[in-house]
Structures are given as structure tokens and as C-alpha cells.
Structure 1
Amino acid sequence: MTTHRNMTRRAFLRTALGAGSLVALPALAGCQRPSTIPVVESGTGDAREDRSDEILGKAQIRVGMEAAYAPYNWQTSEPSEYTIPVDNVSGAYADGYDVQFAKLVCEKLGGEPVAVKMTFSGLIDALNNGQIDLIIAGMSATDERRQSVDFSDPYFVGYFGLFVKEGSKYENATKLSDFSGAQVLGQKDTMLDTVIDEIPGVIHQAPVDSVPNVFSHLLQGTCDAVTYNTENEEGYMKQNPGIVPVRFAEGEGFQQDVACNVGMRKGSAKLLDIINEVVDGVSEDERSAMWQACLDRQPE
């Protein structure tokens, strides 16, 4: 079976979208926003020393995430076989695609995973300050981030699209250039914001702090279009009645792919090898089943 990191974008999406008949495997029950946030140097330790033992053997492994970015991660009040506790929110649990990989990774590392809920832009700082042990939060391994964080192979790959309000003059657009002069909005500190610059002649609005806030602005009519991760298109439409996706002609949409990677403190070579073994050992069918199950469970 080919590992996920060798899949094309379209091959994975066809697999994921066609996985409705698959059942999530018990082992899995038991990935995305690159950004341009400032690089945070760790400032601790010798880069030549392997820091893996800081994590390996811990009874509890603290995993940073927003717990507010379904289907990758979200917060719930009910525990289940799919959830882990949210350490810094009393009575809360985290679920989602990121959480399922966190469970697999931490099982291999020998510790119990707990989620630490925080803003997306605060994750790298928290990692390097020791507040969290791993980042599994739909984060991508950009060149900028690699200066201060080690990243695993991708555990998910996706891409971007645009939503407009139902009845908008842009509803029947077929190419990015149709949005020349349009006001387009994305989420702060992520490529949901920076990808907007692919649109020729766009009016790039100042980004806002969360995906729900992005959609709120669209529905209120304060922008013409918003960016989104297309893998959760159905979920976003259920959560935000009145928005419609733009159907771009082949080759006329956004060109950037995005990957989700596990982040860890730099200089963690042994830890990186173990996590890559876990990530690369999950087959395409297993990933698709896991993704579809998260789509089915995510809150509306």
C-alpha cells in the first residue's frame, strides 16, 4: 500500500470523499493551516543533542490544538472512544482527525494524550516554552516554521477554495481572476489568509481570528468571499446556511496544496523517527475511514 505522503492531492481527495461506506477501524478509534506567524526560537539546549527523552516515557503527553477547528479538532462535553481530555478546560474533551492521530502517536510513545486548548498562533511559542509536548493541530511544515520546530511527514494533504454568499454576483465565477476587485477574507496567521494573494486584483481584507468569525463576516455581507479548506466543504455548509462554494474550472483555482504535520521541539531526532513510523504506517484506506468518521461526528 502506498503511504499517504506519496499520494497526489486529487487521489487522496477522491479516496476521502468516496469513503462513506468505510467503517473507522477500531485501532484508529482506540490535518492544516500553514501560516506566517513569527518564528519563535527555542533558545534552550544544544541543537546537536537529541531532546527526544523529554517526551519519551512521559505518562501524560500534552498535545496543543485549538479544539475549535472541526473536523480536525473540536471540543465536546461528552467522553467517548474517540476523545481525549482537554487539560485546561474543566469537563471538556477533544475529538477530531488530529485527535485520532494524537492517540496513535501517543500510544506508540507510551503516554496518555491530553489536549491543551489554545490559539493557533500561540502553539509554536507554547511548544518551545515547554507548555505542550507536541503540536497536532492541522499545522503545516512551512520553511519558516522549520527554523524553530521539527515536523513529521504529512498525515493529511488538502487544498483551498472560496465560499460566497448565496445569490452573490460571484456565485457563478469559474476562475480566480473573476474575483478581481472583490473583497476577500481569511483567518489570521494562516494560509487561509496568505493564499488570497493568488487572486489577481483582489482587495485583501484584514484577517480575523477564527474560521467561525470568517463565515460570520461573509454572512453579514462585510466581504464578498472567504477562503476555506475544501475537505470540509459539506460541514461548513451545514454550519453556515446561506453560503455556497465557487466551482472553479480545472486549473483555475488556488494552486497551493497544504499538508498537516506533527510538530515537536527541534533536535528530537529519535522522536521524529518514531512519529514518522506511526504516520507512514497508516494506510490510505485507514486515513479515509478516519476522515469520514470525523466528518460524520463533527458538530453542526
Structure 2
Amino acid sequence: MKKILALTLALVFALGLCACGGQTEAPAEETEGTEAAETTEVASGVEDGVLTVAMECNYAPYNWSQPDDSNGAVPIKDSNEYANGYDVMMAKKLCEANGWELEIVRLDWDSLVPAVQAGTVDAVIAGQSMTAERAEQVDFAGPYLYASIVCVTKADSPLAQATGISQLTGTCTSQIGTIWYDTCLPQLSENEGIQIQTAAESAPAMLMALETGTVDFICTDMPTAQGALIAYPDMVILDFSDTDDTFQVSDEDINIGISVQKGNTVLKDALDAVLSTMTADDFNALMEEATAIQPIAE
């Protein structure tokens, strides 16, 4: 009897080990599945043949909104308005080359990167500098423009005669969340009489602050400044880029890129394949075209 009991217990124990062994295999399979999921490529977003692009539609000459489709403007999703500008023109070129339809989504500046991270949109084409900080959040295609940093003031201001950033004084601002405000204006902090004001919520708000005399000058990039002069002929551009007395910026500050979701190599490569065929002169010519047709602010 004792022998039979012992054999029975041994058999139960052996079966138990087999059962435990079976359970140890399951996590291994789950681990393999997890690893496979982690290495799965991010969906390009254009599988449906549509490139969904986000921009402010309020940042001329990069992008703006208008009431009709004149000059090749594109409808803004969930709106009765249309988008146009350099970013729209570039998006149309990219779509034409790849056989995609273009869909424009209007978002405020701070919502652009989160939208592409979440996959709500496929790309952001909105005059974004290709900074290291942004590159931690998204992948960049491009550049699709090279934009030097300048200041803008009123033509009748004493600052209009300035020949370098060391001569800038008084009140100033720029757009929130840009290298103009975060990197460039702090370089003026030791200038006598300088007062850096709260950042403007948008490019139009920044320009209005200068136009109304709220600030003495603003910091921006050359395309935005050139567009500003069309809307506000009483302004002048202060370009110190060919002097030693200028803003210290890196290539990542002035290279303007297209944001895509991290790991979206399919879309990034498709965009880069088109952009790599274009030169700085091509970019500048397209920007001149956009600047020439931008709406005039009153």
C-alpha cells in the first residue's frame, strides 16, 4: 500500500512539474509577441491615399486661412474656409509626387506636435525649426526651407538704424514656443534698457504688438518678416546675419522641417525623396510666390 501511495504521489508530482513547465512557456510566447509588437513599423498614415497635414492656418506667409479657393487654396477640414501659403504649396507638391490627396487640419501651435505624436494627423508642415528638443518627440523630414533670424521694428523708430543686436534696446517679444523667443531674445538680456515681454500667442499677435506700439521690436525669421512688410509697410527688417554682431543660432534653429510620428520611416522617406530633389533656390522661389499672394492684414 505504501509503495502504491508513493508511486501515486510521484506521478502527481511529475504531472505538477509538467503543468508548471507548460506555464513557463506561456510568458515566453507573450514576450516574443511583445517584442514583435515593439519592432512593428509605425503605420505611414497614407495607406488610404490621403496625407493629413496640420498647421495653424494663421502664420503668413507659411500658412493662412482665406474665404475661397483662389490661388490654389485647399479646404480646411471641418470648416468653410481654405488654407494657403508656403506650407500648403509644399504639401501639394509632396502629395502630387506621391499620388496622395491632401487634407488640411487647423490646430493651434502648441497642439501640432501632440497631434502628430498621437497619430491624429500624418504630418505637421507649419514652419517648425528642426530643434533637438522637438526631435526627441517626432521625426523630421527635410529641411524644406532655410530661414535666417532677423528683427523687425517701425521705420520711424531709432532702432531702424541699428547695425547689430548689441544696439537693440527697449521692449521686445516674439511668438511663444519658438527659437526666436526661447533662444534668440535671451541673447539680448544684457543689453542696456532691454525688456523682454511675455511671448505672443501667435505670429499675427506678435506683429500686432509691434504695430500698436506695445513693443519696440520683434524677433522672427526672414520669411515671416518679409510677409510682415507686405501687411505692414511701416515696418522694416533688421538683418544682422552678415555681421559678427548677430544672433548665435545653429543649423537646427534655422532648418525648417516636417514633423512625422516617431518611427514612421515610410512617410519620412517618401517626403525626403521629394525634398532631396529641391534646392534652397527652389524653396526661396516658392516662398516668394507665397509672400506675393498672402492676404493683406488691415
Residues 176 and 200 of structure 2 are in contact (CA less than 8 Å); yes or no, is this contact kept in structure 1? Answer: yes
Amino acid across the alignment from 2:63? N
Counting matched residue pairs gives 253
Larger helix fraction of residues: 2
What's 1:281 paired with? Answer: 277
CA distance in 2 between partners of 1:46 and 1:196 (Å) = 44
Residues 179 and 200 of structure 1 are in contact (CA less than 8 Å); yes or no, is this contact kept in structure 2? Answer: no
What's 1:68 paired with? Answer: 58
Q: What is the percentage of aligned positions where both structures have the same residue?
A: 28
CA distance in 2 between partners of 1:225 and 1:77 (Å) = 31
1:120 corresponds to which of 90, 103, 109? 109
Q: Does 1:292 align with 2:288?
A: yes
Q: Structure 1 residue 109: deviation in Å?
A: 4.0
What's 1:48 paired with? Answer: 39
What's 2:90 paired with? Answer: 101
TM-score, length-scaled by structure 2: 0.78
Q: Which whole-Å deviations, capped at 9, do the CAs of 1:47-71 have from their partners, x for residues lacking one?
A: 63321x3413223221000111111
CA distance in 2 between partners of 1:104 and 1:50 (Å) = 26
Q: Any stretches of 5+ residues in structure 2 without a counterpart?
A: 1-35
Q: Structure 1 residue 293: deviation in Å?
A: 1.4
Tell me the SS of whatever aligns to 2:160.
Answer: coil
What's 1:41 paired with? Answer: none
Q: What is the RMSD computed on CA atoms of the aligned residues?
A: 2.1
What's 2:4 paired with? Answer: none
Residues 78 and 93 of structure 1 are in contact (CA less than 8 Å); yes or no, is this contact kept in structure 2? Answer: yes
1:272 corresponds to which of 261, 268, 272? 268
Structure with the greater alpha carbon radius of gyration: 2
Q: Which whole-Å deviations, capped at 9, do the CAs of 1:182-226 have from their partners, x for residues lacking one?
A: 221111111221211122423221101012211222222222211
Q: Structure 1 residue 285: deviation in Å?
A: 4.5
What's 2:220 paired with? Answer: 228
Amino acid across the alignment from 2:257? N
Q: Which whole-Å deviations, capped at 9, do the CAs of 1:86-119 have from their partners, x for residues lacking one?
A: 11322x1111111122112223444211110111
What's 1:35 paired with? Answer: none
Residues 175 and 253 of structure 1 are in contact (CA less than 8 Å); yes or no, is this contact kept in structure 2? Answer: yes
What's 1:57 paired with? Answer: 47
What's 2:29 paired with? Answer: none
CA distance in 2 between partners of 1:108 and 1:58 (Å) = 16
Q: Which whole-Å deviations, capped at 9, do the CAs of 1:142-171 have from their partners, x for residues lacking one?
A: 111111201012010011111122322322
CA distance in 2 between partners of 1:110 and 1:64 (Å) = 19
* Structure 1 residues 1-300: aligned runs within 5 Å: 48-51=39-42, 53-80=43-70, 82-90=72-80, 92-180=81-169, 182-194=170-182, 195-201=184-190, 202-248=194-240, 250-256=243-249, 257-300=253-296
Tell me the SS of whatever aligns to 1:287.
Answer: helix
Q: Which whole-Å deviations, capped at 9, do the CAs of 1:8-32 have from their partners, x for residues lacking one?
A: xxxxxxxxxxxxxxxxxxxxxxxxx
CA distance in 2 between partners of 1:139 and 1:65 (Å) = 10
What's 2:30 paired with? Answer: none
Q: Any stretches of 5+ residues in structure 1 without a counterpart?
A: 1-44
CA distance in 1 between partners of 2:214 and 2:74 (Å) = 37
Larger relative contact order, structure 1 or 2 (CA cutoff 8 Å, min sep 6): 1
Residues 49 and 267 of structure 1 are in contact (CA less than 8 Å); yes or no, is this contact kept in structure 2? Answer: no
Decide whether aligned partners of structure 1 residues 95 and 47 sit closer, same or farther in structure 2, where only a CA change above 3 A counts.
Answer: farther
